[in-house]
């Protein structure tokens, strides 16, 4: 069994300036996505020009950061937000929600699409494959911060966590309900690493390969939502014991866990709408091409 090393969340400190691992993961996601979209922007038929990709990154980053943080505080940490409203700005401490970020990016893509005369789905289909880079890097940041632990396991790669570290008090004594004075947890699934592999590497390969050829509008976005809803469900081996419901912020979750998969269900519902719509668009396009060839 392995013991979690207890990484320092600060990668580098220069006077009052602190560079945190979590922030570095966001930077990797944004820069990696920007570089790949710029590569595709040089190809014939690209949605954005190379110059427009820079602005696209700016709008996307604002949507992810503002939407993700506001969504997390509203849905998962409402009580703390009410007590300390300034905590909304403490992004470096972690706490971002996928569906908040998705709403933020949705709004940003609507605005930027109007600015450059492109449809919403054209832009989301463009960025969907590279979003996986940020998802994978973000989960690695979660692991470094000691977050998103799964249930106990007997597998050899399970991690034991130091219960004497104050930041793991909730995990040890509330979620796992270990006796007072326990030094180490039983080995736990490193769920964040599972998610980094599935949501990052696996999902990137699927979407980057699929989007390499021209696809109907909504097809890439729909496939992203469908696959993400599936793989994130597999990666989240987090539920402990106890099934009593309690109110946390604005949602109901399992007691002492993060076993609520309402966000996964939401992605699957949207995907179910997007994929048939893309198929219909493809059928209409094919029918129009046949008509033009026959009568044009």
- The answer to whether 213 and 223 are in contact (CB under 8 A) is no
Classify the C-alpha dihedral 234-237-243-245 as positive or negative.
negative
- pTM: predicted TM-score of the whole model, two decimal places: 0.78
* Rounded Cα gap, residues 135 and 269, in angstroms: 20
Neighbours of 128 (CB within 10 A): 23
* Rounded Cα gap, residues 203 and 195, in angstroms: 10
pLDDT tens for 18-28 read 888 888 998 99
Q: Supply the Cα-derived Rg of the chain in whole angstroms.
A: 21
Helical ranges in the chain per DSSP H: 21-41, 50-75, 78-83, 98-116, 120-144, 169, 191-195, 203-210, 219-235, 262-295
pLDDT tens for 163-209 read 998 889 989 998 888 999 899 999 999 989 999 999 999 999 999 99
Query: Within a 13 Å sphere around the CA of 8, how many CA atoms are in the beta-carbon half?
Result: 6
DSSP 8-state assignment for residue 93 = G
Classify the C-alpha dihedral 160-161-163-164 as positive or negative.
positive
- The answer to whether 194 and 159 are in contact (CB under 8 A) is no
Q: Give the Å distances, CA to CA, from 129 to 158, 201, 211, 219.
A: 30, 11, 8, 12
pLDDT tens for 54-76 read 999 999 999 988 888 888 888 88
- The answer to whether 228 and 267 are in contact (CB under 8 A) is yes
Q: Which residue pairs from 285-289 have beta carbons closer than 8 angstroms and sit at least 24 positions apart in sequence?
A: 285/216
Please compute the mean of the pLDDT values over residues 266-291 and round it to a whole number. Answer: 52
Start-to-end CA span in the chain (Å): 70
Please say if the pLDDT value at position 290 is more than 50: no
Mean pLDDT (the chain, rounded): 80
pLDDT value at position 122?
92
pLDDT value at position 275?
58
pLDDT tens for 213-233 read 988 888 898 889 888 878 876
More confident residue, 251 or 97: 97
- Average the pLDDT over each of 65-69, 85-89, 238-242, 269-273 and give the range with the smallest value: 238-242
Helix 98-116 / helix 50-75 crossing angle, nearest 10 deg: 150
- The answer to whether 223 and 238 are in contact (CB under 8 A) is no
pLDDT value at position 273?
58
pLDDT tens for 96-120 read 787 788 889 999 999 999 999 999 9
Please say if the pLDDT value at position 256 is more than 80: no
């Amino acid at each position: 069994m392995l013991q979690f090393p207890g990484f320092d969340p600060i990668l580098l400190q220069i006077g009052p300036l602190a560079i945190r691992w979590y922030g570095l993961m966001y930077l990797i996601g944004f820069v990696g996505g920007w570089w790949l979209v710029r590569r595709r922007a040089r190809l014939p038929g690209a949605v954005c020009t190379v110059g427009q990709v820079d602005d696209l990154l700016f709008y996307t980053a604002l949507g992810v950061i503002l939407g993700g943080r506001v969504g997390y505080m509203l849905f998962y940490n409402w009580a703390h937000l009410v007590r300390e409203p300034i905590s909304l700005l403490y992004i470096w401490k972690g706490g971002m929600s996928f569906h908040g970020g998705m709403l933020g990016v949705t709004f940003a893509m609507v605005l930027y699409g109007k600015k450059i005369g492109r449809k919403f789905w054209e832009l989301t289909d463009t960025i969907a494959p590279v979003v996986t880079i940020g998802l994978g890097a973000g989960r690695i940041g979660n692991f470094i911060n000691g977050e998103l632990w799964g249930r106990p396991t007997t597998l050899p790669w399970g991690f034991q966590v130091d219960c004497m570290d104050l930041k793991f008090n909730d995990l040890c004594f509330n979620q796992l309900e270990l006796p007072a004075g326990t030094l180490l947890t039983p080995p736990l699934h490193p769920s964040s690493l599972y998610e980094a592999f599935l949501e990052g590497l696996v999902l990137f390969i699927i979407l980057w390969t699929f989007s390499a050829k021209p696809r109907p509008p909504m097809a890439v976005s729909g496939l992203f939502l469908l696959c993400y809803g599936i793989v994130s469900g597999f990666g989240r081996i987090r539920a402990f014991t106890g099934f009593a419901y309690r109110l946390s912020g604005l949602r109901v979750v399992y007691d002492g866990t993060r076993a609520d998969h309402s966000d996964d269900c939401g992605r699957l519902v949207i995907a179910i709408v997007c994929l048939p719509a893309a198929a219909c668009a493809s059928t209409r396009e094919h029918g129009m091409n046949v008509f033009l060839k026959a009568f044009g």
